[in-house]
Amino acid sequence: MKKLIYIPISAVIILFYLQALWIRNMHQNYCVQLTQSIDQAITSSIIKELELRTYSPYKNPNNPKLIYKHAEEMSSEERKRLKGDTINLDMLAKKNISTNIAEAIMQIQQDICINKKQFIQMARLDSIFKKRLYDIKIKYCILLYDKDTTIIQKAGDILPLDDHKIKETKLYPLGTRCLQFIQVKAIIPLTSFLTDMFLIIIESILLTIIILGYVIFLVITIHKKDKLFKRREASVNGTIHDLKSPLNSIITLMSFIKKKVPDIHTQQLVENTERQARKLVNEIEALLITARKDRQKVYLQKEETDLVLLVTEVAQEVSMQHSHQPHQIKMESELNELNLMLDPLYVRNVIRNLVENALKYSDDGVQIIIRISKKETQAIFTVKDNGWGIAPKYKKKIFTPFFQVPREQMAHQRGYGIGLAYTKYIIEAHGGNISVESIPGKGSLFICKFPLK
């Protein structure tokens, strides 16, 4: 549960980080859009100022009109009589002076005005620019540079020109000879962004708070459920553990009665009762070990054990207990004996689980083949059957505690979902591993590997 606390904390940190990143990106996009608006405003203002300067009512009415034609549209006679300027759009585009004929003509008009000493009127440009900004609230200044980019004039607000917060437009050339340039430098205040984006930011913050509230509520709920689950688990484990004492007493009593009763039939009945009681004790032990495996490591009492003999004994016991079900168990071993350091009690339960599962999840007449072999540094024990098999999607899940492969209702009730989880845990505690190969309808093969040393 302590580790679970880090999940919501991490989620909150990530959430606030993403929120801050989103607002930052929004502010950057806002600044870019506003800069583009300033670009458009100053461009149109320069054009408007040129129109007022060129076509003012005080200009000479005898001034010639400006007429332009494409070279392809002119006759040879017109070209000979040509006294105007020729325009090379490609060259002007390379110098970032103009990109189309309209801009080129405007730049030629700027050249004409500069030659006539009709220089740009900064105060008028500033007035036009303010109108073009509409409701955009910024502090700015319009700068006029000479060809060496030295400031000649400026209009607008006085700004600290070296401030890193200042956004600036590109240099707009006045004329084709690039003798003068116009540039706008502006400060885009954060308050302007917050005002324009107020509703969106508030909605985003509220959404973040709601998500954070749900995360906190979820953590509190999980914490309560976890405490309740631990209490129930402790109660159930204690109850299950307490069942072992009366069962052990029954086993002891059955052993005593078996020795005292002379009747063979009664002895067999008592022996069967004792066997069932021992089986129940083993299932209780498996349940407790499986339930506690994440918190309490199993303690193995290893001793030199003949795996071949152990498997043979368990197979015979299981075969006798399931004599009512038609079946066949076949032993195939490459070795007469195979001594390993094992905990015989736990490994006996492992073998029993695998063989009993082969009987449980099969129809009558099932054939079970048990093989024992040795390969390099491992002892290999396999149990193969021709039973119902396991679908591929359940192969990994079958070793999960309390998981049962979905089957028909009667078949589903034959197990508790503990045996294979217990088996895997015990084999891995011995340093080995278990795997399964299965085809639905054709049977399963469980492969157990133990280290030789």
**DSSP secondary structure letters along 92-158:** HHHTTS-SSHHHHHHHHHHHHHHHTT----HHHHHHHHHHHHTT---EEEEEEEETT--EEEEEES-
77 belongs to a structural domain: no
- Over residues 358-367, the pLDDT tens digits come to 998 888 899 9
pLDDT, residue 262, reads 79
The last residue of one of the domains, among 164, 188, 212, is: 188
The last residue of one of the domains, among 188, 223, 248, is: 188
Total residue count of the chain as it appears in this document: 453
For residue 230, how many other CB atoms are within 10 A of its CB? 11
The number of folded domains in the chain is 3
Number of H helices, E strands in the chain: 12, 12
410 belongs to a structural domain: yes
Q: Are residues 325 and 412 in the same domain?
A: yes
60 belongs to a structural domain: no
pLDDT, residue 340, reads 92
- The C-alpha atoms of residue 308 and residue 329 are separated, in whole angstroms, by 15
Higher-pLDDT residue of 309 and 116 is: 309
Q: Are residues 95 and 115 in the same domain?
A: yes
For residue 220, how many other CB atoms are within 10 A of its CB? 11
The last residue of one of the domains, among 263, 292, 321, is: 292
11: left (phi over 0), alpha (psi -120 to 50) or beta: alpha
Q: Residue 296 — very low, low, confident or very high, per pLDDT cuts 50/70/90?
A: low
pLDDT, residue 66, reads 55
Q: Are residues 182 and 206 in the same domain?
A: no
pTM for the complete prediction?
0.49
- Tell me the average pLDDT of the chain: 80
**Which amino acid is located at 171 in the chain?**
L
Distances (CA, A) of 317 to 90, 155, 311, 313, 355: 98, 104, 10, 6, 10
4 belongs to a structural domain: yes
**Radius of gyration of the chain measured on its C-alpha atoms:** 46
- The C-alpha atoms of residue 96 and residue 90 are separated, in whole angstroms, by 10
- Indicate the Cα dihedral angle 289, 294, 297, 298, nearest 10°: 20
Q: Residue 412 — very low, low, confident or very high, per pLDDT cuts 50/70/90?
A: very low
3-class secondary structure, 372 = strand
Higher-pLDDT residue of 297 and 214 is: 214
Decide if 422 contacts 352 (C-beta within 8 A). no
Domain CATH for 407: 3.30.565.10
Q: Are residues 436 and 352 in the same domain?
A: yes
pLDDT, residue 10, reads 77
Q: Residue 234 — very low, low, confident or very high, per pLDDT cuts 50/70/90?
A: low
Q: Are residues 122 and 246 in the same domain?
A: no
Distance of CA 157 to the CA centre of its chain: 50
pLDDT, residue 413, reads 46
- Over residues 139-156, the pLDDT tens digits come to 888 999 988 888 888 888
Q: Are residues 330 and 374 in the same domain?
A: yes
Q: Are residues 131 and 1 in the same domain?
A: yes
Q: Residue 55 — very low, low, confident or very high, per pLDDT cuts 50/70/90?
A: low
- The whole-number average pLDDT for the span 276-291 is 69
- The whole-number average pLDDT for the span 2-24 is 75
419 belongs to a structural domain: yes
- Over residues 320-355, the pLDDT tens digits come to 888 888 999 999 887 888 999 998 888 988 998 899
- The whole-number average pLDDT for the span 426-444 is 92
pLDDT, residue 58, reads 47
Q: Are residues 43 and 125 in the same domain?
A: yes
64 belongs to a structural domain: no
62 belongs to a structural domain: no
Q: Are residues 341 and 372 in the same domain?
A: yes
- Cα angle for residues 375, 379, 385 (degrees, 5° grid): 100
Q: Are residues 200 and 178 in the same domain?
A: no
Q: Are residues 317 and 371 in the same domain?
A: yes
Range in 102-111, 149-158, 245-254, 416-425 the model is least confident about: 245-254
pLDDT, residue 87, reads 67
447 belongs to a structural domain: yes
For residue 177, how many other CB atoms are within 10 A of its CB? 15
Q: Are residues 143 and 3 in the same domain?
A: yes
| Percent of all residues in the chain with a pLDDT value above 70, rounded to a whole number | 79
* Domain around 224: 193-292
Higher-pLDDT residue of 34 and 298 is: 34
- The C-alpha atoms of residue 290 and residue 391 are separated, in whole angstroms, by 24
